[in-house]
Amino acid sequence: MAHEPADLDQRLMDAVERLGAAARAMLRRSALAEGLSLTQAQLLLRITADTAPPQGTGSLAGWLEVSAPTVSDAIQTLVRKGMVERGLRSGRAWTATAIGRAVARRLRRWQDPLRAALGGQPDAAKATALETLLHTIAELNVGGHISTARTCLTCRFFRADPEAWCALLETALAPADLRVDCPEHEPRTSA
């Protein structure tokens, strides 16, 4: 049975939406178990992410695509709970306390069922899916629909011709090597 490309696009969008809804539900359950809202959990996970740069309220709001007051309210709750504080090096960036890091480690377990489901898939299929999703994220970023996209495909160091290449790391990038949240990311500027 042949399908039109638009039909495939719709089914891909439906699948991404279903995965997103499932991921939010799993994270929400983990957050509730820790006495946190979904937004508080997302912020704590972002603040403790290895790939995340130090971030203040404004950049966290951009990352989550929510308003600064929403982030400010959630951060203040995390401060009252002893999970985050202002960073020592920068009075504007938030950092997790020991309590916050312990809670974040437990929160990250929400990913275990998804990781297990992905684990059985062939690496080549996962690499293709990653590349497709990153191209989609880049297009949405260029179109102004996603404000923060720290992916290889939106970075000034990324070269696509004749093969994917990172000029900063001076290395070729296979589809499986492409980063979703690169700590060295520098946004590409329009020339």
pLDDT in tens, 139-189: 888 888 887 777 888 888 888 878 888 888 888 888 888 888 788 888 887
Residue ranges per structural domain of the chain: 5-113, 123-177
Q: Which pLDDT score is estimated for 59?
A: 87
User: Which among 158, 32, 47, 3 is positioned nearest to 149, based on CA atoms?
Assistant: 158
Q: Which pLDDT score is estimated for 191?
A: 46
What is the number of other CB atoms lying within 10 angstroms of the CB of residue 63?
A: 20
Task: Give the predicted TM-score (pTM) of the model.
Answer: 0.79
> Which fold does the domain 5-113 belong to in CATH?
Arc Repressor Mutant, subunit A (1.10.10)
pLDDT beneath 70: ranges in the chain: 1-5, 88-91, 190-191
Q: What stretch of H or E contains 95?
A: strand 94-96
Q: Which pLDDT score is estimated for 26?
A: 96
Q: Which pLDDT score is estimated for 71?
A: 94
Token couple for 58:
């404004």
- Cis amide prior to 187 (ω within 30 degrees): no
The angle subtended at Cα 118 by Cα 117 and Cα 124, nearest 5°, is 150
Residue 171's SS3 state is strand
